[in-house]
Amino acid sequence: MDTLKFKLVIAYDGTKYEGWQMQKTGVGVQQKVEEALASIFPSRPQVYSSSRTDTGVHALGMVAHVEIPRAEFKMLPRRLVLALNAWLPEDIRVLSATPCRAGFHARFDAVGKQYRYFVWNQTAMNPLLRHQAWHVPGKLNLAAMRSAAKLFPGKHDFKSFAASRRYEMESTVRTLTRCELTRNGPRLTFLIEGDGFLYRMCRGIVGTLVQVGKGKFAADGIKRMFACRDRRAAGMSAPAQGLVLWKVFYKKAQSEKNSKPKAQSSKLERNFKGQTPSDDSPAARRRLETLRSRR
């Protein structure tokens, strides 16, 4: 089947969802995105993501890919974002949809990810951030937390910081390139970047660092935790609501350099010239309003 492949960048507030993945019970973000696609394309295309997020975890830069039969694609490529968002709930948004090479895979082509975790360190919680940050009211030793954070970058066995799965992992070794802590007033931001992450690994790292800040662990105790390879040796898991999948990194293929994706998008739009009205035409606006009214 002749198809068009698109790379999607998706943002969502994960508060109401059972994570990204389709669920037997509860609703995942993936389900909502695929329902939006099914409302536009009869073949009901599936999306394939770069990663999974847990219940209550958010994303600003989730990447996914989708293949749409060329015969069904009756719009300008740049209209796909508007069309999808017209069918999505307000807590999920497609930020971009760009044509990509046929061999692109959102998961297997990813070379790294960046997560950010937010803590509100003040006596009273900011009610506007109650679903986007972990409330830690007590005083924290930031110097000790930063000293401990410096021990995480590099290649390590992170078994002590990850929750167990129902199956045995082939390897629990991962490489972090960044683990940093910044403060802006009462808000603490943990930036964690690496080539891959174990189940709840980021939350285990942040929970441990916060407990270092509270004096429960010494900063140099991180080395012992790595050596133990036992979840009980490290600190608590931070709650889900403070975690955001910030971005996913890809190595640009040589064939994609020199703005080839932009050229491919322009070529696709030329193919549809004359079949659809321009983005700013009254007919295009009426069609978008029709899509919204069907929700």
Q: What is the pLDDT of residues 64-73, one digit of tens each?
A: 999 999 999 9
Query: CA-to-CA distance for 42 and 68, rounded, in angstroms?
Result: 10
Q: Tell me the whole-structure pTM to 2 decimals.
A: 0.85
pLDDT value at 284 more than 60: no
Query: Is the Cβ–Cβ distance between 122 and 186 less than 8 Å?
Result: yes
Q: Is 113 helix (H, G, I), strand (E, B) or coil?
A: strand
- pLDDT for 69-103, tens place per residue? 999 999 998 899 999 999 999 999 999 999 999 99
Q: What is the pLDDT of residue 287?
A: 52
Active-site residue set = 54
Q: What is the pLDDT of residue 259?
A: 45
- pLDDT for 140-171, tens place per residue? 999 999 999 999 999 999 999 998 876 677 89
Structure confidence at residue 283 as a pLDDT band (50, 70, 90): low
Strands 92-99 and 47-49: unpaired
User: Quick count: other Cβ atoms within 10 Å of Cβ 218?
Assistant: 12
Query: Is the Cβ–Cβ distance between 76 and 276 less than 8 Å?
Result: yes
CB-facing half-sphere around the CA of 82: CA atoms within 13 A: 15
